[in-house]
Amino acid sequence: MTAKRKDTTTPPVDDVDRPMTDDEFGRGRTAFVAKRARDATSLSQAEFSSRYGIPIGTVRDWEQGRKAAEAAAMNYLLVITKMPDAVAEALTPAA
């Protein structure tokens, strides 16, 4: 007697042309901006996380589109994209 195999295929999408929800759009935009910010620094996720004080799990979630960033975090990423060294310097404690 043979055992039944579990169907592991992805179920068909009901409507591939449906518009994205606001949440899906926000997560996609966050993923794009987070990757762009990290690319601007040429850092690994761990280095980026450490340098800019963002938990590494949050960086991963943003880049993989699992979570959308709040407005302040999104603006922080945009500033990092344009001025990565200035932001890092501002975060460094004065000697």
Structural domain includes residue 11: no
- Per-residue confidence (pLDDT) for residue 15, from 0 to 100: 72
Domain that holds residue 39: 22-85
35 assigned to some structural domain: yes
Reported confidence tier of residue 47, pLDDT bands at 50, 70, 90: very high
pLDDT band at 16 (very low <50, low <70, confident <90, very high): confident
Within a domain: residue 16? no
Residue 55, in any domain of the structure: yes
Per-residue pLDDT at 93:
86
Q: How many domains does the chain have?
A: 1
Residue 46 maps to which CATH number?
1.10.260.40
- Domain membership of residue 56 (yes or no) is yes
For the cut 90, the answer to whether the pLDDT of residue 60 exceeds it is: yes
Evaluate if residue 8 carries a pLDDT over 70.
Answer: no
Please report the DSSP string for 18-87 in residue order. Answer: PPPPHHHHHHHHHHHHHHHHHHHHT--HHHHHHHHT--HHHHHHHHTTSSPPPHHHHHHHHHHHH-HHHH
pLDDT of residue 14: 67
For residue 10, pLDDT over 80 is answered with no
